[in-house]
Amino acid sequence: MINKINIVRYDSEGHREQEDIIVRELRANLIINGELYLSMMCLPEHFEELAVGFMFSEGLIKSYEDIKNINATCTGNIFVFTNEPIRVSKTEGRVVTSGCANGTVNLSFLNEKNLQQLESDITFSYDTIVEMMQKFSKQSPIFIETGAVHSAALLFKDGTEIFFEDIGRHNAVDKLVGTALMKKLPISEGVLLISGRISSEIALKTSRLGIPVLVSQSAPTSMSVAIAEKVNLTLVGFARGRRFNVYTGAFRIN
């Protein structure tokens, strides 16, 4: 997942040539039923999990069983065939960048009557959240080497854990979800941990997935808090050391 290159390092003592490590980035093409749906800039691994998670979070499939066949090449072409046809014309050729947003966010979702409400009464203790985040913060080998990726984890009360790193937070989350679907894990009973800020599209993606608790080492935005309030999502930020802030849904933390 990394490349070694020669760079020139500058500091107070001058400059010198040395070897450095950078993360590899690849354009993955999601091809559904023979047609290009979109391309994603990501780490060159776990393409199938990425495709399954993305399609589920976008509402293209309702379960892994909706996929008849999936196959990914080492060059990043992901071929997916579904049991039912999927229209791709409106998004054909669209590119999801390696930034944090999965395209543009339409703010009209705040008025949608059918926005999914998170009714889960699952709870997590203060100590559990602290222990989860302390372990999570030490679990990013590619970030430690390169400083160029985000990480995400999906944890369950029985100790089951899925962890991924990727260039974009949304990619890491989609890989988690794809893995959970392929392993038939109950996504809605987990807690989602992410390394970066909680932006609107991450809060919206979390609610669409039915995940009731979202925890980050960093801060939420005002729009993510508004979304969390509307959908009954427990939003936890600045989870560092033995402290964290609960912005919405504090009833799930005891």
Judge if pTM exceeds 0.75. Answer: yes
The pLDDT of residue 137 is 87
pLDDT at 201: 86
Q: What value does the mean pLDDT take over residues 157-169?
A: 91
Q: Where does residue 68 rank: exposed (0-12), middle (13-18), buried (19+ CB within 10 A)?
A: exposed
Cβ pair 198, 224 in contact under 8 A:
yes
- pLDDT surpasses 50 at 206: yes
Q: What is the pLDDT of residue 93?
A: 53
Nearest Cα neighbor of 121 from 157, 160, 162, 159 is 157
Paired sense of beta strands 161-166 and 191-194, if any: unpaired
Positions marked active-site? 100
Name the pairing type of β-strands 14-23 and 243-248: unpaired
Band the pLDDT of 94: cuts 50, 70, 90.
low
Binned at pLDDT 50, 70 and 90, residue 1 comes out as confident
Nearest alpha-carbon partner for 254 in 69, 124, 68, 64: 124
Question: Tens digit of pLDDT for each residue in 32-78?
Answer: 999 999 999 999 999 999 999 999 988 899 999 999 999 999 999 99
Q: Report which of 229, 186, 245, 194 is spatially closest to residue 211, judged by C-alpha positions.
A: 186
- What pLDDT is recorded for position 91? 47
Q: Which residue has the tokens 């065939």?
A: 81
* Chain mean pLDDT for the chain: 89
What DSSP string describes 111-148? G-TTPPP------B-HHHHHHHHHHHTT--HHHHHHS-
Query: How many alpha carbons fall within 13 Å on the CB side of residue 178?
Result: 21
Digit-coded pLDDT (tens) for 95-148: 554 444 444 444 455 555 556 789 998 999 999 999 999 999 888 888 888 888
Residue owning tokens 């039923």 = 33
